[in-house]
Amino acid sequence: MSEEIPPLLPDGGAAADLNRRPAARPATGRPDVVVLDYGFGNVRSAVRALERVGADVELTADRDRAAEADGLVVPGVGAFAAVMEGLKAVRGDQVVERRIAGGRPVLGICVGMQVMFEAGVEHGVRAEGLGQWRGVVEMLDAPVVPHMGWATVEAPEGTTLFRGIEDERFYFVHSYAAQEFSQGHDEHADPRFQPPRVTWAQHGGRFVAAVEDGTLAATQFHPEKSGDAGATLLENWVTSL
């Protein structure tokens, strides 16, 4: 049985050892961001893009650093099931869950977004995801797959990620996506909680291009490959930390 990570709390308590930032890391005044290195992401370009928009960035698989950073980025390329295996190998699934439970920011990119859903189905094989959002990631309903290239998105009102870039194009490379999104709010939901803001794009049918859900945000496209628009999106996220 793998070792469990204690609940991650914003200001210490049971998880003070995970929240505590090592004294050896000098304060720079810039947000401290970890890009999770678990073998399934375009990590170097993500690191460079985040550094350019003002973050102090570390690429690491260390769970303590991933837990304690101001922001955690979960990149992902390849098959859904393989990405989940990679995450679990470094206990990234536990770190993501504890960060979200503790209200600490997480940004998923590409398959790093897909694994936030309940499951993914590829070649008839279902793999369980992190279950932060309802829904299943499936092959795009389009005449040409993969979807590769630039596309516009339909950003919602009140968006933070797309502030100032609502009408820009972003770079996609994917064959699978979530094509429905359940808000998870019904007549019994607490009205104090803001439902997720969902951004859509089109390739054949509509699919989820991004989600902003409290401190959990994710994009199906690659902001680090999306030129000035992608840089602005990352800057919007970094400045929100």
Per-residue pLDDT at 194: 82
Q: How big is the CA angle at 27 (ends 22 and 32), to the nearest 5 degrees?
A: 75
Catalytic residue among 110, 174, 203, 235: 110
Q: What is the pLDDT of residues 56-109, one digit of tens each?
A: 999 999 999 999 999 999 999 999 999 999 999 999 999 999 999 999 999 999
State the catalytic residue, choosing from 147, 174, 203, 222.
Answer: 222
With a pLDDT cut of 70, the percent of the chain lying above it is 84
Residue 68 has a pLDDT of 96
- Tell me the pLDDT tens digit for each residue of 111-152: 999 999 999 999 999 999 999 999 999 999 999 999 999 999
Q: Is 222 a catalytic residue?
A: yes
Per annotation, catalytic residue among 138, 168, 224, 235: 224
pTM as predicted: 0.87
Per-residue model confidence (pLDDT) at position 24: 44
Asked whether the predicted pLDDT for residue 230 surpasses 90, the reply is yes
DSSP, res 241? -
**51 annotated active-site:** no
Q: Please enumerate in sequence order all residues whose Cβ is within 8 A of that of 5, keeping only pairs 6 or more positions apart, or say none.
A: 15, 18, 63, 67, 91, 94, 95, 98
Active-site residue 224, yes or no?
yes
